[in-house]
Amino acid sequence: DSLESASGDGKSLYGGTVPLETTASGSSYQLKDATRGGTYTGDAENKTDQCLLTICLTRAPATLFTDADNHWGTGTAADRSTVAVDAQYGTDVTWDYYKKVHGRAGIAGDGKGSFNRVHYGKDYNNAFWDDNCFCMTYGDGDGKLMGPLVSLDVAGHEMSHGVTSKTAALRYSGESGGLNEATSDIFGTLVEFHAANAEDLGDWLIGEKVVRSGLGREALRFMDKPSKDGKSADCWNAKLGDLDVHYSSGVGNHFAYLLAEGSGSKTLNGVAYNSPTCDGSTVTGIGRAKLGKIWYRALTVYMTSSTTYADARTATLSAARDLYGADSTEQKAVAAAWKAVAVS
């Protein structure tokens, strides 16, 4: 059969009806996007990978989704293709964010797409990026703590692990691990804002679409005040690197919020924030676009596998100088935001 690109749409679980670029193959369509490096989404059929560290004896499948009329999904999780719509769309908006904002073609910067597996395992409350398969994997959640983990911020978070791996390669433990996680939360959030999806508007929460009542909080993580999750650190301290990377990320997330939005109270897209500083100072934000430019340049030019929080401060100050000039308002704001999270 001849293959050609076709414009369809899908009813997603979290983002309403979304456009999808697909592939016409004979009399049906494949959930595969030639305009974004061949990115596709398949069904893991509730199976799991059987691996020892990175050596996998068996891998869950990624059986390519197909559709008869190029109108995908029903908007309810009962239909297996609905979360595939979210996953494919999440990959699309992440691809577009990196391309349009940072001039980066794909996760590795080489124009090649990745692929997604949805319906991984049973009741699986997680999603992950895997460098070995260059693929994303999404669980359906157990319905009590979490629903399907296919929201835009989670997609952007996980794929940004691939970007970090191909650039700074921040080691996934200690302070560098916290910075690796913060990088994914920062870009996951900027992807969500960039998508400007009317049903999944940008916010500084991670996983707000995914959490269910059993979890007991409205999001997985809160960037304005990370300690709202009960575990994450708002401020740097000498033992920060002993925390799990998903909690030591709090300091980087708090920095990012303060740099973009500033300290104190604010309401954005209907969500109220109140970001304290660790030293009682007041920080004036420079906006999300400049945060993204500064963090991306710091990640891709200055950070390395062993970067600490003190090093991240230097890296972002250098990036801000390169982009906006020495002693610019932006560079001063970077210094003020790090001081406000006790990094000097």
> Which residue in 64, 71, 109, 128 binds ligand ASN (CB under 6 A)?
128
- Which span (19-27, 203-211, 272-280, 284-292) binds Ca ion, by CB under 5 A? 203-211
Question: Does 126 interact with ligand ASN (rule: CB under 6 A)?
Answer: yes
Q: Which residues are registered as beta bridge partners of 206?
A: 221
Distance CA(102)–CA(336), nearest Å, equals: 25
Piece of 42-50, 134-142, 148-156, 253-261 that binds Ca ion (CB under 5 A): 148-156
Catalytic residue among 157, 158, 208, 261: 158
Cα angle value 36/116/7 (rounded, 5°): 40
- Is residue 215 at the binding interface for ligand ASN, with CB under 6 A as the rule? no
The residue from 127, 220, 336, 337 that contacts ligand ASN (CB under 6 A) is 127
Lay out the site mask for ligand ASN across 239-278 (x = CB under 6 A, - = otherwise): -------x--------------------------------
Is 205 a binder of Ca ion (CB under 5 A)?
Answer: yes
Complex with Zn ion: residue 11 or 157, whichever CB lies closer: 157
Residue 46 to residues 43, 120, 140, 196, 207, Cα–Cα distance (Å)? 8, 5, 9, 31, 22
Shortest distance (Å) from residue 117 CB to ligand ASN = 14
Least distance to ligand ASN from the beta carbon of 249, Å?
9
Nearest to 292 by CA among 270, 332, 323, 336: 323
* Active-site option among 157, 246, 254, 261: 246
Task: Tell me the residue type at 281.
Answer: S
User: How many residues line the site for ligand ASN (CB under 6 A)?
Assistant: 7
Instruction: Using CB positions, name the residue nearest to Zn ion.
Output: 184
246 catalytic? Reply is: yes
C-alpha torsion 8→163→255→284, nearest 10? -60
- Name which of 172 and 321 has its Cβ closer to Zn ion: 172
Number of C-beta neighbours around residue 56 at 10 A: 14
Cβ at position 83, least distance to ligand ASN in Å:
16
Tell me how many degrees the CA angle 58-32-163 measures, rounded to the nearest 5.
70
Q: Is 132 exposed, middle or buried (0-12, 13-18, 19+ CB in 10 A)?
A: exposed
Q: Which residues pair with 51 in a beta bridge?
A: 56
Could you tell me where the beta strands, DSSP code E, fall in 110-165? 115-120, 127-130, 135-139
Binding site for ligand ASN (CB under 6 A): 126-128, 158, 161, 181, 246
Residues taking part in catalysis: 158, 246
Q: Which residues bind Ca ion (CB under 5 A)?
A: 153, 192, 203, 205
